[in-house]
Structure formats: C-alpha cells, structure tokens
Structure 1
Amino acid sequence: MDQITALLDSFQRRNPHKQLWLAVSGGVDSMVLMHAYAHRAKDQGLETANVVYVDHNLHKDSESWGRHVLEAAKNYGLAAQVLTIQCDAKRAIEETARERRYQAIFQLMDKDDLLLTAHHFDDQKETFMFRALRGTGITGLKCMTEHSYLYGYQVGRPLLTVSQQQIHAYALKHNIQWVEDSSNTNVQFSRNAIRSALSHLQHETGFLTTQAHIKRQLSAYDELLIQSLKTLTPEPHILNVAQLKEHSAALQQELFYHWLKQLGAVSHDRVASLLHSLIHANQDKYPSDIINGFSILRYRDFAVIIALPAVMADLESSEHEVIIPQHGRIINPLGKKLSIKKMRKVGRYKKKFQQLGIPAWLRQHIPLVNEIPIFEDASISWVPPKEWRFFIQ
C-alpha cells in the first residue's frame, strides 16, 4: 500500500461517518485523492463515495473540467455530480468561491457525513503565510487541521502531510489525467503569489517544527484561559466584567475573546472595541453590540450574551399554562382568562424593574398580563427563559 492510500485508509478508520463525499476540482491533487479512494474501495469492498465537482462559472473551461471529473468518476465506479454556483466578482473572488462552494456541497450532506478535500502539505505552508500577511492571531497560524467542522459539517483533509511533489509522482505512476487551471499562475491572487514565492524555499522540517510548537503552546494557552474564565463566568453566557478589570489589559482582551468564541468567528479588532465600551461604561449605561445574531450587553457588573426575540404580538388565552416561544412559560393556577400583551410603556414600573434587577433592554419583553406586569399579581407566575434568570430575581 503506497503512502497516499495508507493515509486515506488510516484517516477513514479514525473518523467514522455515515456517507463519504469527495470534493474534486479536476486538478491533480483532487484527482489523485479520487483515484486513491476508488482503488482502495474496490480492493476492500468499501461503500462508494459521492464525488462533487463545483462549477464556479469563473473560467471559460469550467464546464469541460466538470465533464472530465464525471467521466473519471464513472470509470472508477463512483457516483458523481456537478453543482453550478455564481460568485460575485466584485467581492474577493477566492474567499467568495470557497464560501459558496462549501455551502453548496453541504446542502447535499447530512450532519453525520464526511467531506474529504485534497489539501496537502504545500497548501499548509501557503495558508500559514496567507493568514500571517492578513494579520491573524496565533490561533490562525495553526493552519488547517486533519479533521474539523465547517458550518456544522465534518471536513477531512487526509493528505496534509503529503507534498505537491509526492502527489505529482503518484499521478504519473498511475497515469492519472488532470486539468490545469491557468488562473493558478496569476499572481494577482494572493495565494498564487505566495505559492510562487514558496516554491523556491524547501524548509519542510522547520515548518513542521514551528507548527508543532504552535499547537503545543495553543493547547497550554487554551487550558489556562479556560481555568481563568471559570472564575469569571457564573454561567457560560455571563461574564463578570468587574472581576475581569482586575487583570492586565492584554489578558482582559484574550479572556474576553475566548469567552466570545462560543458565538463563532469574531475579529480581534471587533473584540477590542467592544471590550473597551463594556469595561469603561458607567453603571447607568448599557453598551451593546450584535455578533452573529446574538446581543452582547452590559448590565451593572456583568456582560451577557443573549438572543433577544422580537417583542411578542398580543395573545389571548384561557389555558392554565401558557408557553410563549422564547419568552418563557406563564402559569395561571386560578384558570382565569389571561390577556397577554407586550409592554409598550414601562415608565410607571421603572422603580420596580430596577429593584428586580431587570435591565432596560429586557423590560419591553416582559409579558403584560391583564394589563399589569406579572410580578404585580401573586396569582400568576412567570418562568422566564434560562438566560434571563440571572437578571430577574
């Protein structure tokens, strides 16, 4: 068993999945990946893989490349299909194409499926330089991992330790035919310029050593931040800003960034700006921001991540228990008819809201039952959403 087939075999055994998908562009890297899988599957009686070629409509020959992939897949006994997408040339073409390519493929997959790509060792070096030149933090310099999740779907890269030279040698040995994208030599694209520059450097051992250092140091860094955050977060979505201020400015930003990672990707510049507004806010101010659909707000000594729903529409109900999605559960033990409305004016209840610790940005979401807030009527109780209970005593 050659090196590429052995790596593919080992990767699949370590990463269980329901159905396998192969992203094949027609270039030498992905054609080698498809060939290696097809022959391994035939030898070992494995399930067939789903081959996907994505036509970005950015090159005059893209349609013929798709036909080449379909024909090769057919010869290997693999199911294959072509997906056609449109990319906005006004945006960064490389980033747009990558984003839409993955999104199109994931629409075909289940969450238990696995998508294999042909990223290799030379791609790792390019990614390292590309991210470094864009000003990424140390986490980004770790580059690609063998297995990861993208938009919630599994992505595998079994060839990350294989060089471009080894891939070409495999293709020549097995007489694999591939297509050449002339745009890959256009140095106006950042990755192509980096690829051209790196072709003159052969320091694989040093690069691998650097990546090992980064991986080890990040592991220790993450462990220390997690331990520190445990003392600052009474709940995962709540951060004690008063205690955070006791740390150095540099550590404040790293802890805050680590806390916000639960919301997905967020830039360090955005983190620094939001942290500054939260840290220096007066007690009577409520700075806020929205990141990936979640609100980040400050109330008294705490910052909170919360998904604020739209203010409820007027509801009529006579049930003993009324469940209002995203607003909590209203319990009516007396069984009397309830008129549940949104609170349009909170002025007359302002002092009561302050006594209960309900911040201004939550008040309009408190249900108004029979024309009064629930906390005014002992016969009716309200169980608010879990993330609100820290503020509603």
Structure 2
Amino acid sequence: MTLLPPEAIQRLSQHHQGRLVVAFSGGMDSTALLHALVRAGLNSRIEAVHVNHGLQAQAFSWQAHCAAVCRLLEVPLQIAEVEVSSRGSLEAAARRARYQAFEKILCPADLLLMAHHREDHIETAILTLLRGYAGMGLSGMPASRGLGEAEIYRPLLTVSQSTIVEYALQHKLEFIEDPSNQDTRHDRNYLRHNVMPRLEGRFPDWASRLESRLDLDQQARALLTTYGAQDVKTLRAPQGFSVVKLKALERFRGLHVLNTLIAQCAVIIPSRRQLTAAYEMLVADGQVEPRVMLIAGFELHRHGQWFDLLPPVAGNTASDEVEIKAGTEIELGGFELKAWVAPGGIKVPAGAKWLRGGRGQLKLEGSHKRLSELLREQGIPFWVRQRLPVLTERNRLLAIPELPDWAVTAQFNEAVGLDQASQGLHVALIRSAV
C-alpha cells in the first residue's frame, strides 16, 4: 500500500534546493508520513523536527518516543522546546509557538512537510467559515505556502484519514495518542467528534462535495489574488500606499486589495468585521490626525493620504536605544536601518546615542523648528517618525538619518558633519520590500 500520492512523490523527488524537514509530533499522521517518505527512498534527504510544547505530563516521554522512531528509521531529529503563552486561546498560543520554532530551524528553500490530511482540510474550511473568514469563497488548508524563506508543503492533503489508519495498521506503526485531541472544549475537536460524524450519518457524500467546492474556490481565489496583487502594486509608492487610489476603487475591490495586502504579510486571516473596520478607517473623509489599528498581528497606519501595514517594532518602550555602526543592518518594524562609511557623513562623538522615538521637542543646532515639526513639514508620516532613531548627546539633537523614500537627505549639526575629503558614517532608514 502506497500512502503518498504520485504528484507528491514527484515534487519531493525533484526538490534539490533545500532540505525535506518533517514536522514530527509522534502522532499517527506524522508517523505514517515519515514512514512513507522513508519507504519512498527519500530517507537520505529527510530530517525531522519535534516541537515539545511542555503542556502535557507525558511531553518528555513523547520526545523520547520520537527520538527512538527516528533512530529506527535512520532519520536525523531536531528537538525544539518552546514556552506557550498562557494568555488567550491555549490552542492558538501553542500553534504560534510551534510555527515560530519551525521558522527558526528552517533554512532558505527548505520544505517543511506536514501530515495534514483531507479531514483536517475540511475541518479548517468549516472553522474559517464559522469564524467569519474575510476572503473570497471557502478556504481550507493550502497545500503549500511560505514560512519565512522556506515553504510548508502538505503531501497528504488529498488523502483520507481512513487511508492513513489503514496504512498505520498494515505496517504496525507505533505512535503517540495525545489525550488533548479528545478535549471538545477546543473548536476543532468539537467539530471532529460532535459535528462531522452527524453530517456523515445524514449526508454520506458531504465531505467529497465540500472538497470539490474547496478546489473550485481555490482556483477562483488564485485568479483574484493575481488581480489583488496588481492592485497592491498600483497603490504602492515609496511613501506607503495611496489612500486616494484606494478610495477610487469600488468598495468590494478596495476590500479585496486590503485583504490581499494583509495576506502577503501576515499568517493570521482577519475576520470580515476586522477587514471592514480597517477599510473604513482608511477611506474615511477628513482624516488628518494619525490613526492606527492592529489587524492580523500587524499595525495598520493611516496619516493624511497615505497608509501602511507594518509589523510592530520589537522593544518595550518608545525610546529604545539603537546601536548603529558601519555595516549595521537592523529591522525596525517594516523598515531597514542601514549604516555605511563613505566620504562626508558624520563623526559620532563619544557618549552620543542613537535613540528611537520620544525626541520630538529637540532641535538641530541653528534651527528654530522642533524635530517633530521639521519631519512633519517634510511629509514624514507618523509611523516613520515612530521608528526613526536620531543621534543625541545630553539631550541635544545632533543628527537625523537619511530617508530616501521621501527624498529627504541626512540632517546634522555642523559640529558632527564631515566634508567630502573625510570618511564619515552615513545612516538611512528604508522601507523593507512588501
């Protein structure tokens, strides 16, 4: 009996750029996948990763079981022990911790192989529908998607759970049974144990019909995504995204382009209500003051006729010190801070610090305008000013980095500036690619 579909074997056999990394929980599905990959002759290219969430008393015995299985199959295993936040949904927090662990382990061009099957796909479609999914059509699990610079691939997504059970029994596979999978307080388990069996009893072919609908909707969504990506490019400018161009689109198209932008950046899918609230904030008339809302784990900013979608800046305060020297490349919430040495530029005095935020009242030497006023006049929106580090010494403003996306050159006091005959530090804050 062969578990892997022919198209999956073909894809995996032709993948030579990176590793094949199996997400190995030790449960029946991932055990069957790992075993099938070894039987398909791919074991020389396979590695496994087990994420220990530490949520069950048996967590370390499960970890030991996974290590034993991998030794038997001669597959290298990495263990990732994670801490799961106790805030909010435990199920969602465990998922976030798991995917963060995967992203740290994976290298560019790696394929992370996950053992989700047809019933998982259908459960996800029902859950996203019940939770108010904001996209077009029904949506389950994608067969593949990006994760950082790597990719997730689900080779068993068209395989039924009953086929996996049959395979596991035929090959006498030993696997873990996680008792939390029986806990119907979790939405997915409630569907699996209380809803889907009743649907099967009443409508025996319902799952196949829903799967066909999902395939058709996926094709339509791929076409819409292409158009949405074109609209995102049309709205894009160095300063952000154009409110004027967004408002010129019909409402349904504007909602779709916003959803496309979020999907390009975030893993979390916003609800229809969240998406509509975000859209209304962006197209509201007479909007002058900066506005921001959190959506899908990102900050959606609007200031005047521009908006942007940005990851939050790491750090606990609005005035973090930023270490900058020649060769520095730092990610600052959707922006890259770069520093290099070239003719001109500045000489940083001993004791001077680059500080982000909270310096709006300071003035450059010889200027009658405060930093916040100066940047506003130059058209620099709030979300950039929030991320911009400036050079200070004893509460004096010494230098402001270059902002090439706004055609704003570096500004600094004469005391720290160097002429073209000298090599000095140049610093620029640049919007990262979307």
Aligned residue for 1:210, secondary structure, equals helix
Q: Which residue of 1 aligns with 2:4?
A: 4
Which residue does the alignment assign to 2:139? 142
Counterpart residue number, 1:198: 196
CA distance in 1, matches of 2:57, 2:320: 52
Q: CA deviation at 1:108?
A: 3.3
Distance 1:22 1:370 in 2: 49
1:142-221 maps to which residues of 2 (within 5 A)?
Answer: 142-196=139-193, 197-200=195-198, 201=200, 202=204, 203-221=206-224
| Larger of the two Rg values belongs to structure | 1
Question: Residue 289 of structure 1 contacts residue 295 of structure 1 at CA under 8 Å; is this kept in 2?
Answer: yes
Query: 1:242 is aligned with what amino acid?
Result: V
2:259 matches 1:257 = yes
Q: Summarize the Cα distance change of 1:169–1:96 in structure 2 as closer, same or farther, 3 Å threshold.
A: same
State the shift of 1:248 in Å. 3.6
Conservation of the 8 A alpha-carbon contact between 2:125 and 2:139: yes
Q: Distance in 1 between matches of 2:382 and 2:49?
A: 51
The 3 A distance-change label for structure 1 pair 301 and 166 is same
Name 1:273's counterpart in structure 2.
277
Q: Which amino acid aligns with 2:236?
A: T
1:391 maps to none
**Deviation (angstroms), 1:12:** 0.5
Question: Is the Cα contact below 8 Å between 1:5 and 1:40 reproduced in 2?
Answer: no
Q: Distance in 1 between matches of 2:382 and 2:46?
A: 54
How many corresponding residue pairs?
A: 379
Distance in structure 1 (CA, Å) of the matches to 2:383 and 2:4:
57
Q: CA deviation at 1:34?
A: 1.7
1:297-336 correspondence to structure 2 within 5 Å = 297-304=301-308, 326=337
Q: Structure 1: which amino acid aligns with 2:23?
A: A
Would you say the 8 A contact 2:298–2:312 is kept in 1?
A: yes
Q: Which residue of 2 aligns with 1:39?
A: 39
| Structure-1 separation of matches of 2:131 and 2:44 | 41
Q: 1:108 to 1:212 in 2, by over 3 A?
A: closer
The within-5 A match list for 1:353-372 is 356-359=378-381
CA deviation map 1:179-219 (0-9, x unaligned): 32333223222111111221342434312221122112212
Say if 1:352 and 1:223 are closer, same or farther in 2 by CA, change over 3 A: same
> Which residue identity is paired with 1:33?
L
Q: Which runs of 5+ in 1 are unaligned?
A: 389-393
Contact 2:266 2:298 in 1 (8 A): no
TM-score, normalisation: structure 1 = 0.76
Q: 1:216 to 1:109 in 2, by over 3 A?
A: closer
Deviation per residue, 1:15-69 (Å, 9 max, x gap): 444322222222221121121122222xx7x515323333333333343333333
CA distance in 1, matches of 2:80, 2:428: 45
Matching residue of 1:244: 246
Q: Aligned in 2, Cα 1:115/1:177: closer, same or farther, shift over 3 Å?
A: same
Change over 3 Å in CA distance of 1:311–1:178 after alignment to 2: closer
**Residues 17, 114 of structure 1: 8 Å contact kept:** no
Deviation at residue 336 of structure 1 after TM alignment: 9.6
Shift of 1:89: 5.0
SS in 2 for 1:144: coil
Residue of 92, 95, 104 corresponding to 2:92: 95
CA distance in 2, matches of 1:55, 1:361: 37
Equivalent residue for 2:226?
A: 223
Structure 2 residue ranges without an equivalent (≥5): 331-335, 392-396, 401-409, 421-425
> Aligned in 2, Cα 1:59/1:290: closer, same or farther, shift over 3 Å?
closer
Give the RMSD, CA atoms, in angstroms.
Answer: 4.5
The 3 A distance-change label for structure 1 pair 8 and 214 is closer
